Amino acid sequence: MAEPKQSTSWIPLESNPQVMNTYTNKLGVTSKWAFTDVWGLDEELLQFIPRPVLAVVLLFPITEKYEDHRRSEEAQIKERGQTVSKNVYFIRQTIGNACGTIGLLHALANNVENFELGDGPLKRILDETLPKSPDDRAKVLEGSNELAAVHEESSQAGQTAAPSRDQDVDLHFICFVRKDGHLYELDGRKPFPINHGPSDDVLKDSVKIVQQFMGRDPDNLNFTVIALAPAQD
């Protein structure tokens, strides 16, 4: 399956927990959970992240080395197969620069049982898309003026000037979640979720995969890790 064709482009979302938390509220989610920065991947710094962590969002550079790995990984999975839980909610990304929103939706939709979900864009999107395929879910997102408006507002709320919606951005958001005892990598550019094996700690096990991302491009510093964890008073 080829990378999905992008029908339109949005303004990229900033990797900023405050922006993400405001965005989440605008989607109709009220909860005792919040996105927070992960300042380092060593065990001492990870201890500062409140537990349990529900999801990890990674912003990373799309480089030639990464693209080589992505194509190889996809080919290997198609050849040998993998088990993916039917409870994993996955969306293909067909909107340019919408990876931030797709990452948030993956984090929230796969943990919806932990939130108070009011009448808002997220509830309406989930009600319409739960029975659909990842590609058909993408079509619903393409047609959601409500979601586009929330994304547009959030993309202007960061600490840095928002780039043009037509700008070619080489940074990409993905999400890691735990479902039915396994860690899944959810990337709308890929044709399917990636099952990274058994997991009992989303943060600890996601960090192992993030370190592999960094190891493929050791001279690149453009990596940001954000956790969805209990909110601090």
Determine the Cα–Cα distance for residues 77 and 63; give it in Å rounded to an integer: 21
C-alpha–C-alpha distance, residues 52 and 90, integer Å: 22
Where the chain has pLDDT below 70, the residues are 1-7, 156-169, 233
Q: Please confirm, yes or no, whether 172 is among the known catalytic residues.
A: yes
**Cross-strand bridge partners of residue 35:** 228
Domains and CATH numbers, the chain: 8-230 (3.40.532.10)
Tens of pLDDT, residues 24-62: 999 999 889 999 999 999 999 999 999 999 999 999 999
pLDDT at 31: 80
Note if 182 is an active site residue. Answer: no
How many other β-carbons are positioned within 10 Å of the β-carbon of residue 222? 13
Alpha carbons 120 and 26: distance in angstroms, whole number: 8
Of residues 172, 175, 182, 196, which has the active-site annotation?
172
Query: What string of DSSP letters covers 75-111?
Result: HHHHHH-----TT-------EET-HHHHHHHHHHHTT
Exposure of 86 by Cβ count < 10 A (0-12 exposed, 13-18 middle, 19+ buried)? exposed
Alpha carbon distance 38, 35 (integer Å): 10
How many other β-carbons are positioned within 10 Å of the β-carbon of residue 2? Answer: 5
CA distance 151 to 11: 8
Model confidence over 59-81: pLDDT tens digits? 999 999 999 999 999 999 999 99
Q: How far is CA 104 from the centre of its chain?
A: 5
Cis previous bond, 52, omega within 30: yes
**pLDDT value at residue 169:** 60
Report pLDDT for 164.
45
Q: How many CB atoms lie within 10 A of CB 111?
A: 19
Amino acid 30: pLDDT:
83
| pLDDT value of residue 162 | 44
| Catalytic hit among 99, 106, 175, 182 | 99
